[in-house]
Structure 1
């Protein structure tokens, strides 16, 4: 298996740029909704409607991303490397232009909303291709070795956690620093530019050379013989374990995407202490990093099924704690948020592998390589999460009576905490039930399928 041994520098070249990319796109995810209502003068209802429309379009793109990747040929770059390059730019500019203050140049709030929506699509449409391609690069680098695939997943989670500490500590202070110099609404965009320069540099000098080594350009015949989109969809519908994994991760992601954007509202609107958010993010980041160091050992002992059960159960307990205690005790809120990161760290040890294993299983049982489609399905829960979660935040805030600059009453605060904690807990409960009852694919089976698929590909090449 010498062929599949990776250098530590190669693992770092894969993990670090992808981790730093989150510093860029997390800013519009965390602050984008609040930016629209607080600085662009867009109502919560209009924001929710726009999020619903753009996320529906985003999901349509997510459905077809795998097929487009399979049918795209480049003489210079591999199947996945090409799209990683393209989406490096869509990620940066899509994030940046969502948080530009257009009030001085666009008088209509509707047109401002359309402007933001266009670049929301730029970011998230591209992320469909990026997430699939990132999983494809992992498969190329790891080969059939489950240990190396897990190692890449775990290292990515560890680097993500370390970067989260830094970004949690510096993001809001940087936003406020630049806001003091350039105006309150401009701090977000300038911070993205700073982080984006770092992300672009790491991508060009670390990630791109590694991709070039492991993801080689394809011959035209390989592109022509790629499965049709219809065949790809059939491979998903007939793969029972893929459907189970899709439903589990979708429920988990919807719950997370309801919680995440509401954090800013919790500190700015409900507690009136936005500066404390920096403290939360810093402590949360440190906690996530510490959890990421021990998560691989825990995940290895639990296995894929056990990791899902444990992480979803812990998340449920934490969200319920936030609902019941978080309003009166900000430190309890911080503690529960850290534990949520811990549960996520355990899941992240296998995040890509859940879908890739289903792809290996499908390839083994049907003889048709639809692993790219399996990796594309990995995007669908994310998109549904942003669609349902983002819309739920906008409409949920409207339903409980939120408006910019409102006076917060105890009734509103209690309703907010239900939206903030109880609703995400309900979605994670769905994940827990499915993990216990329906998920069957073991680690040993996945490794067997991957090795058999490698043998099949070698035989086909030899036959040619």
Structure 2
């Protein structure tokens, strides 16, 4: 039986989708931008130990992400194939996410283990909701235009997430911490409670508004659509555009995570004023938001998704090198150069989800079976791998340059942190740029593939 063509998605639903992206990224970014600082400066754990803990916990995170894609692809819950997971997993994730920063336990070791276990459980639950949200991009978008609009709005709200997080989280932590002028355990906990509540509301909103677009499949259809392990592997290894996207997106995340996580140390050690960190992070987030608006409204339409994506790698890499060469002259010079670079950085995020949706179509065209949830879950995989790499790398970098929260600052430490926030991310972006030169899915080619897929589906 031919599948009924879905209605065009409304602006209201697009906005709810964007808000769900905004709040999901806010709580996820707590762990990429601030969790390392929580471990080293609140729990007072050595940087090398912190790096090892992050590698360990984030490896589990990657495993649960892959599991979420497989499970959601093969199951057919009663409230909708994908949207059901928002209802089932997001509330539990919010509770565990709060416990992660509770500093529960009597000793430092117990506190660290409880926090690490909560990290693993939080992201296990979060990943199921996140995979469902990303799969809904395809479910909501009936046309390439709808998907491009959802993708652009996703990038815009993602940039807003950075603005909200970076302008409010650390100030909230410091405010709840009292007059210590440094982050405390209670300060972190109180701020996280607020952010987790804010996270939960639009996830439930997306669950509600996506009802007409994501209904449970008939049993016969659901059984027929289930992918075997071999077919899932083919969706990746017979899909060259997807493999290139996975590498490039990993490079994007490593770069972003290094910059944001090292910024806390940069302003504490190099600038010697932690209160400047929210100003810097907010400034680059605002620049990214403006960049996403321009990219979504003009650049993608004018240059296409691939060329926009390439600019997003090249321009920030150049800016990072310039920041290292000239940013040492003054803090303002450093921040101005970084703001310019991050204006272009969101040129990666703007077309990214739509390009993954294109890879879904290519996989269906090439293999003959659709793996929407599985492939869209892979959109988050580079984020997890990138965070793992950057988290471990940042910890070992801090240890290598001799940083300790309780030790005196030396010129070696200052220089090392300066390079870690500039040259290391620039090198990673260069790798991503080279990979995407080989990406072949143009807008014209995607339209041809989608038409063939529709004909094969009998639509």
TM-score, normalization: structure 2? 0.92
Q: Which residue of 2 aligns with 1:211?
A: 210
Task: Deviation per CA, 1:275-314: give whole Å up to 9, x if none.
Answer: 1112223323332232222111112222122112211001
Q: Mean alpha-carbon deviation: is it higher for 20-29 or for 402-411?
A: 20-29
Q: Which residue of 2 aligns with 1:85?
A: 87
Post-superposition shift, 1:365?
2.2
Q: Mean alpha-carbon deviation: is it higher for 263-272 or for 168-177?
A: 168-177
Is 1:304 aligned to 2:334, yes or no?
Answer: no
Is 1:283 aligned to 2:283, yes or no?
Answer: yes
> SS state of the match for residue 401, structure 1?
coil
Q: Which residue of 2 aligns with 1:404?
A: 405
> SS state of the match for residue 80, structure 1?
coil
Distance 1:123 1:10 in 2: 27
Is 1:314 aligned to 2:315, yes or no?
Answer: yes
Contact 1:259 1:420 in 2 (8 A): yes
Distance 2:197 2:126 in 1: 19
Q: Which residue of 1 aligns with 2:385?
A: 384
Task: Deviation per CA, 1:221-279: give whole Å up to 9, x if none.
Answer: 33333011232012211222222222222222222222221111111233211111122
Q: Which residue of 2 aligns with 1:128?
A: 127
Distance 1:447 1:49, change over 3 A: same
Distance 1:208 1:128 in 2: 16
Unaligned runs of at least 5 residues, structure 1: 460-464
Task: Deviation per CA, 1:193-246: give whole Å up to 9, x if none.
Answer: 122223323333x32211222111123333333011232012211222222222
Contact 1:47 1:113 in 2 (8 A): no
Post-superposition shift, 1:360?
0.6
Distance 1:168 1:248, change over 3 A: closer
Post-superposition shift, 1:8?
1.4
Distance 1:58 1:27 in 2: 15
Q: Mean alpha-carbon deviation: is it higher for 326-335 or for 357-366?
A: 326-335
Task: Deviation per CA, 1:383-402: give whole Å up to 9, x if none.
Answer: 11011111101111111111
Q: Which residue of 1 aligns with 2:174?
A: 176
Contact 2:295 2:350 in 1 (8 A): yes
Q: Which residue of 1 aligns with 2:68?
A: 65
Distance 2:98 2:110 in 1: 18
Aligned partner (choices 22, 32, 35) of residue 32 of structure 1: 35
Distance 1:198 1:59, change over 3 A: closer
Q: Which residue of 1 aligns with 2:100?
A: 98
Q: Mean alpha-carbon deviation: is it higher for 134-143 or for 333-342?
A: 333-342
Distance 1:388 1:447, change over 3 A: same
Contact 2:140 2:213 in 1 (8 A): yes
Contact 1:59 1:384 in 2 (8 A): yes
Q: Which residue of 2 aligns with 1:13?
A: 16
Post-superposition shift, 1:425?
0.8
**What is the CA RMSD across the aligned residues, in angstroms?**
2.2
Q: Which residue of 2 aligns with 1:162?
A: 160
Distance 1:307 1:325, change over 3 A: same
Is 1:113 aligned to 2:115, yes or no?
Answer: no
Aligned residues: 452
Q: Which residue of 2 aligns with 1:462?
A: none
